[in-house]
Structure 1
Amino acid sequence: MLKVLWGKEATRQSSLMEDVWRFRHQQFVERLGWNDIRRPDGREIDQFDGPRAIHFPQLNHAGEIVGYSRLLPTTEPHLLSDVYPQLMGDRSPPRGNTIYEWTRCVATIDGSPIDGVAVSSRQMAGVLEYCLLVGIEALIVETYPKLLNMFLSTGWDVLPLNAPSQFNEHFIVPFCAYPTAATLEWHRSNYGIRGSLLDLGADVESPLAGPAQISERPRLSRLVAA
């Protein structure tokens, strides 16, 4: 299941968040070689990991983190606005209460499928499910062009925001991915996903509506229960 941690929930689960920081360091620094963010304490944490960052650690049946994603509100500083604005050229990045930036998406390469579904597929579908539940209407992504093609091939509605730019010997393209019920149905059907992938706990607040509860948004109740 994908845990959903942000705000007070992330504070309450401080032990799991420590595991998140170490998992991110292991994956992005030790495995992928992002040495610019290497830290001597073995914790990958940055200036955007504030109370409104939404964390999605995916746990296997043994309780180990095997996948992770993070969403950042575009109404606050985020990677495209504050670290990689050159990717937009002379254009302004999209911002809005229902627009989030999708970052730090990763799955272990040696992890076994969970209930017959690959960890990476569960990660993508779980984030998509959450966006539909709480009303996030667009996700900004900065990644390699081949991953843009992966979004297209897995049913996502996407819009490139600019042409690819060369960055650290790689080409990076910014684009918007739009969560839709049809895309969630595609993931469920093609990956054999049954039921919800989210472990929301009790009384989880929506990041868009303050005190409003996710359970008060009924538009995807059929899909979540499927």
Structure 2
Amino acid sequence: MIHIVENHLGSSTRRLLETMFADRKRLFVDLFGWDVPVVDGRFEIDQFDTAHTVYIIAADDDGAHEASLRLMPSTRPHMLAVLFPDLCPLGVPVGSTTWESTRLCLPQRHGAARRRALRNRLISAMVDFALTRGIDCLTGVLPDAFRREVLAMGWAAEPLGPAMRVDSGLVGAFAAHVRPDTPERLTWSGTYVANAPAVTA
């Protein structure tokens, strides 16, 4: 089941959120070795996990985290503007209809085929959310190999600058434009799948 969690600081979905932050710690800190904040030795939570952040989370039958991503309005502090502005030599896209997508968390325990299916469900739910909320541009920072994959999914998208080397390797910024035909365009590559209606918490 897909959950849309807004203002997680007041959310009743505590188990779902705790298991998400724990999975983020296991993936991004323990496996990838990122130098990011860890709370209580268990949860990867940084300065962008605020009341203004929206989480799109795939949950299992027990209400625990399977996979997730987060969305942030570009009009507030976000990763591209605060941490990676040099990735956008022409300027970081900012506006009321531009949001940033980050922290795609696909735990290794699922295996490659399951991670890909979960990724597609999350991207599909993100597109549905964007169309519902009037969001017409999604930006983000990705490892360059994955950025090339995202840019080739079928939507109208472009790199925001050349890839640059950071501690974790080559990364680059992108912008993907969300339009009424985006679900159909993403269907061409097998990325978009029709989800059951998301549960909003």
Would you say same fold, with TM above 0.5? yes
* Corresponding letter in the other structure for 1:21: F
CA distance in 1, matches of 2:46, 2:81: 15
Is residue 97–residue 134 contact of structure 2 (8 Å, CA) maintained in 1?
yes
Percent identical residues = 23
**Is 1:185 matched up with 2:158?**
no
Q: Secondary structure at the match of 1:92?
A: coil
Q: Which structure has more RCO (C-alpha within 8 Å, separation ≥ 6)?
A: 2
What's the Cα RMSD here? 2.5
Q: Secondary structure at the match of 2:43?
A: coil
Task: Give matches, 1:23-38, under 5 Å.
Answer: 23-38=23-38
Cα 1:161/1:136, change in 2 over 3 Å: same
CA distance in 2, matches of 1:101, 1:74: 6
Cα 1:154/1:11, change in 2 over 3 Å: same
Larger deviation: 65-74 or 123-132?
A: 123-132
Is residue 122–residue 197 contact of structure 1 (8 Å, CA) maintained in 2?
no
Is residue 57–residue 67 contact of structure 2 (8 Å, CA) maintained in 1?
yes
Please report how far the alpha carbon of residue 199 of structure 1 lies from its aligned counterpart in structure 2 after TM superposition.
2.1
Please report how far the alpha carbon of residue 64 of structure 1 lies from its aligned counterpart in structure 2 after TM superposition.
2.7
Q: Secondary structure at the match of 1:171?
A: strand
Larger deviation: 117-126 or 131-140?
A: 117-126
Task: Give matches, 1:1-226, under 5 Å.
Answer: 1-7=1-7, 10-89=10-89, 91-111=90-110, 118-168=117-167, 170-188=169-187, 190=190, 193-196=193-196, 198-200=198-200
Cα 1:17/1:10, change in 2 over 3 Å: farther
> What do residues 174-209 of structure 1 show as CA deviations (whole Å, max 9, x unaligned)?
1111123333124456368345352236xxxxxxxx
Cα 1:106/1:195, change in 2 over 3 Å: closer
Paired positions, count: 198
TM-score after normalising by structure 2: 0.85
CA distance in 1, matches of 2:68, 2:99: 16
Any unmatched runs of 5+ in structure 2? none
Bigger fraction of residues in strand = 2
The structure with the larger Rg is 1
